[in-house]
Structure 1
């Protein structure tokens, strides 16, 4: 005959546990799991009816020249706040959730008003430094 196992009594907490939170509503997504596209009306109001666009690439860097003026739209203000440090057009498009085509129209307006400056990305040298190659070669020869 085995003796019965004793169980320890745990003290009851003085403060009752908080009730579980209700589940948060899920973010609406498209059938393939991506975020839904913005309304076409909103894109038209951001881009306007003018079709003029500057020659911008996905990797073109945008830098703000000034703080957002009072007359700026919310999207323009957001771009000017984000571009205190150089950001590419692709990054801006992702941060604001706007398609590239709408972003180019918005940036064209800012470039025309001289509120931002667009510049080509900094490209590293295609050929490495000769002294670095010689150091690697000498290191390999010593092995």
Structure 2
């Protein structure tokens, strides 16, 4: 069984990111919500077009990666490009959480196990 993104041709991933292996920004973690601020324009890279369409409504980075079938590290690079161009906005769903507002660690463990089983 092949796994999307993990079994992709390395040359393709190199081309998609313009040879970059890391994002220029630390803005995006797995649960950062991304929203398109514009529609795609002719001549845009196909992955950028797909991201803008996926993110018409707030969408987590991990969901974008899943929908594209690309590794999160590659998607972070692409999102960084779009953020720098002002084509998306990003925000963390919980930026002012205190310790008493955080989810139960046991629930987080169960979510992690569920994600790994996907």
TM-score norm. by structure 1 comes to 0.60
Instruction: Give the match's secondary structure for 1:77.
Output: helix
The residue that corresponds to 1:49 in the other structure is: 19
| Correspondence 1:95 to 2:70 | no
Q: Secondary structure at the match of 1:59?
A: coil
1:71 to partner: Cα distance: 2.2
Structure 1 alignment gaps of length 5 or more:
1-28, 128-143
Return the alpha-carbon distance in structure 2 between the equivalents of residues 39 and 87 of structure 1: 26
Secondary structure of the structure 1 residue equivalent to 2:41: coil
Give 1:62 shift: 0.4
Ranges in structure 2 where 5+ consecutive residues have no aligned partner = 103-118
Post-superposition shift, 1:74?
0.7
For residues 57-102 of structure 1, give each alpha carbon's deviation from its aligned partner in whole angstroms, at most 9, with x where no partner exists: 0000100000011121110000000100000100000110110111
Runs (4+) off by over 3 Å: 122-125
Q: Is the 8 A contact 2:65 2:75 kept in 1?
A: yes
Contact 2:25–2:80 (Cα < 8 Å) also in 1: yes
1:117 match: 89
Equivalent pairs counted in the alignment come to 96
Q: Is 1:126 aligned to residue 101 of structure 2?
A: yes
SS in 1 for 2:25: coil
What's the TM-score, normalizing by structure 2?
0.72
- Structure 1 SS opposite 2:34: strand
1:37 matched to which residue of 2?
7
